[in-house]
Amino acid sequence: MSASEHWDVVVVGAGPAGSSAARAAAERGRRVLLLDAARFPRYKTCGGGLVGVSLGLLPPAALAAVETRATTASFALRGGPVRRVRTTRPFLALARREVLDQALVDAAVEAGAVFRDHVRVTRIAETADGVRLLAGGVELLAGSVVGADGSSGVVGRHVGVTIARSDLGLEVELAGTGADWAQRIHLDWGRDPGTYGWVFPKADRLTVGVIQRKGEGAATRAYLARLLDGLGLADRERLHDSGHLTRWREPGSPVRRGRVLVAGDAAGLLEPWTREGISFALRSGLAAGAAAAEDDLAAYGDLVARELEPEQRAGARLLRVFERAPALAHLAVTRTGPGARRFVRISRGEADLRLRHR
């Protein structure tokens, strides 16, 4: 088939990974097309927590998406007594994903990328002259492709990403915040192994969610109901009610096939214990876009293996400990000064789960 459009780099998926890849490639002078299957701005199931690493990678204009900066964290074990950790300086920023993602798309367009929403990629194949895609009925030819189309996207399947585990996250957005939630996040260590719930405040709403291993849908729904009831939030007006699968890769899983790279959720890049993925999306997206623009695709795989995979391995080890003894995590953060300081430093991006200072 003959391509009707020719681009240096085509990026599939306009979340943080995809928009960052498009921006990085466009800033390097490449002709970049950014695609997403949804209409923008679009709602995304996500707590919207931005750790210090993420804040440091956002373009200046996207920082305006931050609505709240937390100075207090409260913790509970299986819905029990709440214990608080307070700081004088914010340790976590919070944003609505529809606002943040639109700001990142705008930054990519400002850098020179072309953005098309409501366009689904249905076919991808490598040929002698590049990577050919069928997107919304239009044939595209790309010098290289960055896939950031989510955990079950067509590009990840093409590359052959292998997944270690899938979890189900359920979330509701509630109207209003109130003084008690103004700068406070809440984490609850759940009854079932590896589960936890969260409350993240935004300017005019609370994001409340839980996460549990895939296949336990009834238990996950029951956990969310208990969390809302226990915190006195069950009667709040619901603005959104949604779910999403989070998946992380097997160590050594491919992030490249020929001239096709995958980043963010499409590559299974997130931290397995907390399931924090935005910082991994930003880092992998920027690296993938730069590698595609500079035609040094091998450099991207090297960066994932050197920087991101060790953090994932550390998170997986901590998850295994947490699954066996969640009370240890609770005690470490709420009853010991070093544990609380470590939590704050990791959230601010001053250290990572490998206990390494940045």
pLDDT (0 to 100) of residue 355: 57
Q: Which string of DSSP letters, residue by residue, matches 228-282?
A: HHHTT-TTSPEEEEEEEEEEEEPTT--SEETTEEE-GGGGT-S-TTT---HHHHH
Going edge to edge, which strands form the sheet with 49-50?
A: 49-50, 92-95, 66-70
Handedness of CA 100, 104, 109, 111 (dihedral sign): positive
Model pLDDT for residues 31-90, shown as the tens digit of each residue: 999 999 999 999 887 889 999 999 999 999 999 999 999 999 999 999 999 999 999 999
> Does pLDDT of 313 surpass 80?
yes
* Least confident residue range of 1-10, 12-21, 108-117, 218-227: 1-10
Q: In this structure, what is the dihedral angle of CA atoms 279, 302, 154, 140, given to the nearest 10 degrees?
A: 110
Report CA 133 to chain centroid distance, whole Å: 25
Closest C-alpha to 242, from 40, 39, 16, 46: 46
Helix, strand, coil % over all residues of the chain, rounded to 5: 35, 30, 30
Q: In whole angstroms, what separates CA 298 from the centre of its chain?
A: 23
Is 80 exceeded by the pLDDT of residue 2? Answer: no
The pLDDT of residue 216 is 93
For residue range 346-358, list pLDDT tens digits in order: 899 898 877 555 5
Convert the pLDDT of each residue in 275-302 to its tens digit.
999 999 999 999 999 999 999 999 999 9
Q: What is the mean pLDDT of residues 112-121?
A: 97
Percent of the chain at pLDDT > 90 equals: 85
Model confidence at 1: pLDDT above 50:
no
Q: Record the pTM.
A: 0.94
Residue 269 CA: distances (Å) to CA of 142, 152, 212, 225, 281 = 24, 13, 18, 29, 7
pLDDT digits (tens, 9 = 90+) for 180-189: 898 999 999 9
Residue that is written with structure tokens 């091998």 in the block: 298
Question: What's the pLDDT score for residue 142?
Answer: 98
Strand (E) or helix (H) holding 224: helix 217-230
Structural domains present in the chain? 5-348 (3.50.50.60)
- Average pLDDT of every residue of the chain: 93
To the nearest whole percent, how much of the chain has pLDDT over 70? 98
CA distances from 244 to 3, 47, 171, 281, 339 (A): 34, 11, 9, 16, 30
Residue 160 has pLDDT above 80, yes or no: yes
Half-sphere exposure of 194 (CA within 13 A, CB side): 19
